[in-house]
Structure 1
Amino acid sequence: MKPIRTFNVSPSLPKRLEPLRKLAYNLHWDWNFDTTDLFRRLDRDLWESSRYNPVLMLGTISQERLREVAEDEGFLAQMDRAAQQLEDYLKERTWYRKHRDRKPAGSAAPEATPEATKAETTFHPSSFIPHPSKDCYAYFSAEFGLTSCLPIYSGGLGVLAGDHLKSASDLGLPLVGVGLLYQEGYFAQYLNADGWQQERYPINDFYNMPLHLERNPDGSELRVSVDYPGREVFARVWRVQVGTVPLYLLDTNIEPNNQYDQDITDQLYGGDIDVRIHQEIILGIGGVRMLKALGLHPTAYHMNEGHSAFLALERIRMMIQEEGLTFAEAKQVAQSSQLFTTHTPVPAGIDLFPPEKITYYLGHYANTFGLSKEEFLSLGRENSGDLAAPFSMAILAIKMASFVNGVSRLHGAVSRSMFKSLWSNLPITEVPITSITNGVHACSCVAKSTQGLYDRYLGPSWSQASTDSPLWERVNSIPDEELWRNHERQRSELVVFVRERLQKSLRDRGASLTEIAEAQEVLDPSVLTIGFARRFATYKRATLFLRDLERIKQILHDPDHTHGKRRVQFVVAGKAHPKDIPGKELIRQIVHFTRDEALSHSVVFIPNYDIHVSRLMVAGCDIWLNTPRRPREASGTSGMKAAMNGLPNLSVLDGWWDEADYVRTGWPIGHGEDYDDLEYQDEVEANALYDLIEQEVVPLFYTRDDEDLPRGWVAKMKDAIRLNCPLFNTARMVGDYALRGYFPASDRYFNMIQDQYGPAKSLAHWQAHLFNHWYDIKIEDIKISEPAEIRVNQEIAVTAQINLGALSNGDVRVELYQGSVSATGEITNGVPVMMAYQGQDVQDNSLYTVNISYTNSGLQGLSLRVLPSHDYLSSPYEPGLVLWAEPERVSVDLQSGGNGHVLEVPVMSEAVAR
């Protein structure tokens, strides 16, 4: 029976307790223990049964209890302190104000990730003027993992997005999040009697979550509509307040939408390909319309993965229809102010849609743009000539962004390889895809008692100065005994939690009383505990540690007392995608392994992994295990969280771990090898894992002094904290995005729109002229003044004669490209050197010169190339045009009358347009 009218009934609080409402509706409480302690004090059992949801708690707590605490001076004092902390946090002077006001766009972040590649160079014309007071950055993501009571995330991508918002708030960035509000969210996991993952989809009650429904001035719901074939789909807008950052979420579960359209925002990553494209249209196109309806005018748009890439199409449409721009002009404005972060290390992870789906749902955009069907589809294709190719959301995002990055240094290199066909005539090291290594939000993952240690020995500013390496050196001042006893308490808390969770899981599936009672005996709070928790994708190899059952049993129980009863135990958790049958099989295998009498108390699988379980594991385990197939782990963040709590990592050299100080802060499995034979790889790396545990991990953990302290292990813990915390945190990460991405993108946007879009129109006109005449450029001659004998650091003069045709010197940049020559005749690790324009010769050829020298001996080579140049380009690679010299154009002027050796010039002659 449907109601004839609905009401939203809010909690009734005594006036003196009104601060609780504000505290409950700002997720700042999620990383502020004083506030969570306040809600726990209000009613511990209700706090836990509500899944740590203060809004639901305030709506269900008895009025008698509220009246009681309204008279409790101790509680009121604690509440007032928490309320004042929030007020102070919202008003404090921030990193953004300091850096945006005084740093020029494009400045390097103060704690940048290790060594940038050539592809990480961004060009920022000095004519760009920052407008910090008007900045607004829109961060689009299909999922956000903020807190366990808001289950609209599936795993690492969502938790990273949530941490991004938290650090943006900490830094004071004018950032807004944009996502979808899923009625069923991601599934709750449970196991059947055979250990097979089952999915349950609890309905999210938005009115009892820390969500605000956005309304118009007249009190009606704020709604946006998106066009689908034959109908409009409407979405209302909810807001989550994350400190100072608002996260706006679209919800289609409303009338007058039909049932199919109401279900668009039903499940995260659920449904078929049509549901997926419906969701991504709502996210990208609906998200842009929502921001406009809210009166927000972003100056930079950040696409966190390709799910939201349709936002670029909507921005272009709006500028065409509302500002009177052409497609080319509007594309320049959109591209100049858009960023794209890819998290995918393999092509199979990219959203691909059949061409007919794109034309069916979005064909009207092609008409508005004045493009043919194939021209429109080419926006999402690597090869525009391949008419059967699917439409790639990642390719669309790359083509529509001026800043593209992977999420670790290694992943940046993998991404350059994956997408190199878009710049097929560039050396792979120069493909303009950079990297910003992921991080984690320190205050969200460091255990409460560990934060207390940091407060005492590092100072209370550690959470605001999380990139300050000298500050983290103070970790060495923490007494070994304090750090170790604190960690032992965390391990004990984890064991208690695991036992309770397992017993609940067994009861839920109807296990016997004997089985339930035995769950109370699993794990030992004094034993070395290895943690493994992540998404159960097959490439993560969750069962690698069980490859040799006899050997792992020896390690777990040490039956011969080889190590003096130095036992080991494993805690495992994670979910497989509902459609990932191989991933589910891995979970089933682990559950079956735990039923082996020799393993049952020493290997446990925790069902329904979520943020809360993660926080307990990264604090309570002793070491963090990660065994992906290199290089398929784009970054990984759980190991970073573990390190912040003092856990060494035991991991394959992949993702973030490849650039960490893995010798001092843990143990690497292997040396970064690549394998063609995967079975052989598993054999080698499983044995390497066993060897490390037996020969290094176990002895270090169990070697104790007279005070029963593992001094060597504690030293490793301190190294894990002090060397990883300053680098692998989201304060550094978001600062990198701001300095390298948001600030320059906003500057480009403001410059593009000034004088009624004059620069955008000029750039579009120039690019049309460039494409029309690029292939008329001819490199007529290259003269190399070569000594009879070339020595290291000896100068060589190079002069080039180039016929630019209808183009001028200001339209191009001419570079000499030099480096060592490989056995295949290619320049490797080449370095471009700008050539100076010297005017024209009598045949109207443009002359360019440069003097170069070589710092290394051996076979060296050089080539010459021509690239586009314009003040408003974000990069000379943006148009995708490169012209390389042909060897036959080289002439050599031998000096000193000797038999000089002609420098080898590799063939790189084909011009290419992106």
Structure 2
Amino acid sequence: MQKRGIAYFSAEFGLDESLPIYSGGLGILAGDHIKAAADRNVPLTGVGIFYGRGYFQQRIDEGGRQQHLYPEVNLEASVYPVQLVRDDHNQPLLIEVPLINRIVYAKALAVQVGTVTVYLLHTDVEANSEADRRLTDNLYPSNQEVRISQEILLGIGGTRLLAALGIQPEVWHMNEGHCAFLAFERIRVLSAQGVPFETALETVKASTVFTTHTPVPAGHDVFSIDMMDRYFGEFYWQLGADRERVLSLGQMGGAFNMTRLAVSTASKVNGVSKLHGEVTRELFHHWMRHIPKQDIPVDYITNGIHIETWLAAGMKELFDRHLPADWTTSTTNPKVWDAVRNIPSKELWEGHQLAKADMFDELELPIHSTGRGPLVIGFARRFATYKRALLIFSDPQRLACILGDPHRPVCLIFAGKAHPADGPGQNMIRQIVELSREDRFKGRVHIVENYAMDKAKKLVQGVDVWLNTPTKPMEASGTSGQKAAVNGVLNCSVLDGWWAEGYNGRNGWAIEGNQDGDHDTQTNQDSEALYRLLEDEIIPLYYKQDEESVPMEWVSLMKESICSLAPAFNTHRMINDYWHKVYVPAMTRGKQFASDHFEVASRVAAYKQFIRSNWSRVLVSNVEIVTDNHSGRIGLHKTSFRAEIDLGAIWHKDVRVEAVGSDGREGIWRVKLEPVQQSARGKFVYEGASFDTSINFWKANVNVRVTPISPDFESKFELELAAWGIQ
């Protein structure tokens, strides 16, 4: 077996529109991740599924209804080399995957992206039944039986494929929970070698990392326990554990949650923006009620874009002339982008106008540009209700006045697909089509059908303003606005996802409605904020009279947007973050846990089992909090904490005892307590003190907790256990 860096598993890869095996943001991000890894020579291998009919092609009929077409994917049209993977006998390599008392065979296609290979499994194999040949026809099927079959193929089949290819990854990266069954297969392989289940679990966990992209509970794949039993009834025992222990890795609320499985089997978990990291901690707090959300072990790495994929040809030519010669390999260096400020404003404006005209032509938009106008606002993304495509239509008459000003014309361009099972999303498309036909909006509101990467490129390159109106905080990250920004397009967005980090007050606009109140209140406040921005800032600035027909202040905003956003929100920065913060630590940890016949993994497994078995006996009692305003230290007061702790059979050096409380600003404070007296076997008195006057130590705000610790843990709360005092 050969060691080969990172295995990157994803249900979809958006590499190019010629290979339509992606549905939206997750796939586009995965595709850009692959390209960045190739650019940076990161030793990474992609693993996914080849969908024979891809994600659906969208047609919008006369009634505004979305139609779903599923033509076969034409591999010969792919811009990336795609080859059938063959075995040593030059026969198609077939992977066997168990699915309910039968074996399903999957062949593999290899897609070459620079130095990185992406392997895609496909079940259209003669040895399969007709139904099994169709299992990998479509991405994200609504049928739960097909959905779980695909996720088994991805996780278990993908792991077996790498083994068949002689690839032994040092790190396993799960991009969303769809692929989390890979942990089952890796544990099964170790179990077959005689490694006990708990030791195998710790070994797998040490070298596995998980990126979550979904900020709402409904977005996580969940399968019934009955379905799990049907698909894994003959698989549980192969992992070396009983059914209940295996299911416990993902069981939540009487069902099996794939995100929970991913968290249970990964040493590192990250969201995809700073805000999303906070939202994810809040979400996972529902699983771990006894741990404050601030302590939930979730980090974040903000998404970025592969600049060369999304940059307009004219803009690239402009950057080639004015930026340092090595700019394409130095995209993370802010000083490189500072040169944008020196591009003559007229050249930058004309470059954007060329991209705008190209968009009109390529998308066959019946928009005629005269002089500076019209101002074009783009809204293009998946049509899901939380993205609020209709927010800008909240007051139709007011919008009609904004768009219909003959002296300052404005156009709206919409594009996007709704999932075939998403009725409300499809209804939004129908409503926009109907609105576009009303006299007051005719010629001002346009919708582009069959949104895909090719059309996305034209839109992010050619519109003047990129509009994003999600219900905060439901946008995990979003990257379309980043693609727009590098092309000089200005963002107007709710401060959600990546924009909460990117907006600096000088590089676009923030829709800052008051986030308090119910959904309707938020909608009203956000729409009012949006209208005011359009009426008072965006449109006047765009049409402000300047020299040589160039809106100088607008172009200054364009430059600020590029300079401030391009170096921070690109995949070269992102892959560097993954390498240093996630991949290298996981490589090191994985090697440690597997070395010397799994000595560390075995020790950690035994320790965790011991702690779990004895944790119910840990009790915190007689908590005392005393504030001394005469501590002898000028300007300070001393707050002392005391608690009696019964640890039972657990050693006092295997726990951390702290006084914990809210700081009143969405944060928490901690004061460490030390054992000062042992009253009986396993029973201790702990004390500690703080001189921090910035903390309000009122008693209702304070509790004492005990948590298990180990130098072998990846995080302080790896065991997800805590015993509290005052209840």
Alignment of 1:721-800 (within 5 A): 721-779=562-620, 786-789=627-630, 793-796=636-639
Which residue pairs with 1:856 in the alignment? 694
The C-alpha deviation readout for 1:447-496, integer Å capped at 9, x for no partner, is 12212222222213222222212322222111111111111111111111
Q: Residues 630 and 672 of structure 1 are in contact (CA less than 8 Å); yes or no, is this contact kept in structure 2?
A: no
Pair 1:579 & 2:421 matched: yes
Q: Residues 642 and 648 of structure 1 are in contact (CA less than 8 Å); yes or no, is this contact kept in structure 2?
A: yes
Identify the range of structure 1 (201-210 vs 855-864) with the bigger mean alpha-carbon deviation: 855-864
Q: Which amino acid aligns with 2:47?
A: V
RMSD (CA atoms) = 2.4
Change (3 A) 1:690 1:363: same
Change (3 A) 1:174 1:521: same
Identify the range of structure 1 (798-807 vs 641-650) with the bigger mean alpha-carbon deviation: 798-807
Q: Residues 436 and 737 of structure 1 are in contact (CA less than 8 Å); yes or no, is this contact kept in structure 2?
A: yes
The C-alpha deviation readout for 1:551-577, integer Å capped at 9, x for no partner, is 222111215xxxxx0111111111111
Alignment partner for residue 667 of structure 2, among 814, 819, 829?
829
Pair 1:399 & 2:264 matched: yes
Secondary structure of the corresponding residue to residue 284 of structure 1: helix
* Deviation for aligned residue 1:426: 1.1
The C-alpha deviation readout for 1:620-664, integer Å capped at 9, x for no partner, is 100100111111111111111111111111111211112222521
* Deviation for aligned residue 1:372: 4.0
Alignment of 1:689-708 (within 5 A): 689-708=530-549
More strand by share: 2
Alignment of 1:446-845 (within 5 A): 446-499=311-364, 519=366, 526-559=373-406, 565-671=407-513, 673-678=515-520, 680-779=521-620, 786-789=627-630, 793-796=636-639, 802-818=645-661, 820=663, 829-835=667-673, 845=683
Change (3 A) 1:691 1:810: same
* Deviation for aligned residue 1:359: 0.4
* Deviation for aligned residue 1:665: 1.4
* Deviation for aligned residue 1:710: 0.7
The C-alpha deviation readout for 1:342-381, integer Å capped at 9, x for no partner, is 2112111111111111100012222223544444333222
> Equivalents in 2 of 1:857, 1:760: separation in Å?
40
Q: Residues 405 and 434 of structure 1 are in contact (CA less than 8 Å); yes or no, is this contact kept in structure 2?
A: yes
Given the two structures, how large is their TM-score scaled by the length of structure 2? Answer: 0.94
The C-alpha deviation readout for 1:306-332, integer Å capped at 9, x for no partner, is 1111111111111101x2111111111
> Equivalents in 2 of 1:537, 1:771: separation in Å?
42
Q: Residues 629 and 636 of structure 2 are in contact (CA less than 8 Å); yes or no, is this contact kept in structure 1?
A: no
Alignment partner for residue 220 of structure 2, among 350, 374, 377?
350
Secondary structure of the corresponding residue to residue 411 of structure 2: strand
Secondary structure of the corresponding residue to residue 287 of structure 2: helix
How many residues are treated as equivalent by the alignment? Answer: 720
Structure 2: 5+ residue runs without aligned partners?
A: none
Which residue pairs with 1:189 in the alignment? 58
Change (3 A) 1:211 1:373: same
Q: Residues 238 and 249 of structure 1 are in contact (CA less than 8 Å); yes or no, is this contact kept in structure 2?
A: yes
Report which of the two structures shows the higher radius of gyration computed on alpha carbons. 1
> Equivalents in 2 of 1:682, 1:299: separation in Å?
47
Secondary structure of the corresponding residue to residue 405 of structure 1: strand
* Deviation for aligned residue 1:602: 2.0
Which residue pairs with 2:118 in the alignment? 247
Which residue pairs with 1:92 in the alignment? none
* Deviation for aligned residue 1:607: 1.1
Q: Residues 648 and 681 of structure 2 are in contact (CA less than 8 Å); yes or no, is this contact kept in structure 1?
A: no
Which residue pairs with 1:426 in the alignment? 291
Q: Residues 523 and 601 of structure 1 are in contact (CA less than 8 Å); yes or no, is this contact kept in structure 2?
A: no
Change (3 A) 1:858 1:393: closer
Q: Residues 523 and 602 of structure 1 are in contact (CA less than 8 Å); yes or no, is this contact kept in structure 2?
A: no
Alignment partner for residue 162 of structure 1, among 31, 38, 50?
31
Q: Residues 513 and 522 of structure 2 are in contact (CA less than 8 Å); yes or no, is this contact kept in structure 1?
A: no
Q: Residues 139 and 301 of structure 1 are in contact (CA less than 8 Å); yes or no, is this contact kept in structure 2?
A: yes
Q: Residues 211 and 272 of structure 2 are in contact (CA less than 8 Å); yes or no, is this contact kept in structure 1?
A: yes
Which residue pairs with 1:308 in the alignment? 179
Which residue pairs with 1:902 in the alignment? none
Change (3 A) 1:423 1:803: same
Secondary structure of the corresponding residue to residue 549 of structure 2: coil
Q: Residues 631 and 655 of structure 1 are in contact (CA less than 8 Å); yes or no, is this contact kept in structure 2?
A: yes
Change (3 A) 1:566 1:780: closer
> Equivalents in 1 of 2:169, 2:187: separation in Å?
14
> Equivalents in 1 of 2:696, 2:73: separation in Å?
66
Change (3 A) 1:470 1:855: farther
Identify the range of structure 1 (408-417 vs 606-615) with the bigger mean alpha-carbon deviation: 408-417
> Equivalents in 2 of 1:330, 1:682: separation in Å?
49
Identify the range of structure 1 (336-345 vs 827-836) with the bigger mean alpha-carbon deviation: 827-836
> Equivalents in 2 of 1:193, 1:777: separation in Å?
67
Change (3 A) 1:297 1:847: farther
> Equivalents in 2 of 1:272, 1:742: separation in Å?
35
Q: Which amino acid aligns with 1:166?
A: K
Which residue pairs with 1:871 in the alignment? 711
The C-alpha deviation readout for 1:364-417, integer Å capped at 9, x for no partner, is 22222354444433322235xxxxx12111111111112112212222222222
Which residue pairs with 1:340 in the alignment? 210
Alignment of 1:120-139 (within 5 A): 134=3, 136-139=5-8
Secondary structure of the corresponding residue to residue 612 of structure 1: helix
Alignment partner for residue 151 of structure 2, among 271, 280, 286?
280
Secondary structure of the corresponding residue to residue 460 of structure 1: coil
Q: Residues 187 and 199 of structure 1 are in contact (CA less than 8 Å); yes or no, is this contact kept in structure 2?
A: yes
Q: Which amino acid aligns with 1:180?
A: I
Alignment partner for residue 201 of structure 2, among 331, 334, 357?
331
Identify the range of structure 1 (793-802 vs 585-594) with the bigger mean alpha-carbon deviation: 793-802
* Deviation for aligned residue 1:819: 5.1
Structure 1: 5+ residue runs without aligned partners?
A: 1-132, 384-388, 503-518, 560-564, 887-906, 909-914
> Equivalents in 1 of 2:647, 2:385: separation in Å?
53
Q: Which amino acid aligns with 2:223?
A: F
* Deviation for aligned residue 1:839: 8.6
Identify the range of structure 1 (464-473 vs 196-205) with the bigger mean alpha-carbon deviation: 464-473
Q: Tell me the percent identity.
A: 41
Which residue pairs with 1:415 in the alignment? 280
Secondary structure of the corresponding residue to residue 459 of structure 1: coil
> Equivalents in 2 of 1:201, 1:334: separation in Å?
38
The C-alpha deviation readout for 1:119-159, integer Å capped at 9, x for no partner, is xxxxxxxxxxxxxx956111111100011111100111100
Change (3 A) 1:729 1:521: closer
Secondary structure of the corresponding residue to residue 233 of structure 2: helix
* Deviation for aligned residue 1:689: 1.6
Pair 1:369 & 2:210 matched: no
Change (3 A) 1:815 1:148: same
Secondary structure of the corresponding residue to residue 265 of structure 1: coil
Q: Residues 529 and 569 of structure 1 are in contact (CA less than 8 Å); yes or no, is this contact kept in structure 2?
A: yes
Secondary structure of the corresponding residue to residue 424 of structure 1: coil
> Equivalents in 1 of 2:433, 2:482: separation in Å?
27
> Equivalents in 1 of 2:590, 2:537: separation in Å?
54
Q: Residues 634 and 655 of structure 1 are in contact (CA less than 8 Å); yes or no, is this contact kept in structure 2?
A: yes
* Deviation for aligned residue 1:780: 6.4
> Equivalents in 2 of 1:806, 1:843: separation in Å?
9
Q: Residues 792 and 856 of structure 1 are in contact (CA less than 8 Å); yes or no, is this contact kept in structure 2?
A: no
* Deviation for aligned residue 1:799: 6.2
Pair 1:438 & 2:308 matched: no
> Equivalents in 2 of 1:332, 1:716: separation in Å?
51
Which residue pairs with 1:880 in the alignment? 720
> Equivalents in 2 of 1:237, 1:626: separation in Å?
38
* Deviation for aligned residue 1:803: 4.4
Q: Which amino acid aligns with 2:27?
A: G
Alignment of 1:292-303 (within 5 A): 292-303=163-174
> Equivalents in 2 of 1:780, 1:418: separation in Å?
30
